[in-house]
Amino acid sequence: MTFKDDGVYIEHMLACIQRIKDYTQGNKALFFDSTLVQDAVVRNLQTLTESSQRLSETCKNAHPAIPWRDISGFRNILVHDYLGLDLNVIWSVIEQELPMLEKVLKQMQ
């Protein structure tokens, strides 16, 4: 994998974060009240976490502050435990984890 490939995945992850921000508008009630928004957010989280798995180990090792393993584990939950998804956990990720991830990804560009 090359730096160019990493850049494509980083851009893709940032686009997913932006879509999630657009869909939720930072509004917890909007997220909880709309299955359409929930589905869109979950899909973008799946895509974001899948893209994170495709980053090179060199790229990941250069940014140890990001919990890459946790992101990968979250992907597995989103994909394989879709019937047991906890909307409170997903909202917590949106509110608490994505802003920091977005900040670091922008620095990685």
Active-site residues, by number, are 75, 80
Distance, CA of 65 to CA of 40 (rounded, Å): 27
Distance, CA of 74 to CA of 72 (rounded, Å): 5
- What letter would DSSP give residue 84? G
Among 5, 8, 4, 44, smallest CA distance to 23 is for 44
Distance, CA of 79 to CA of 4 (rounded, Å): 27
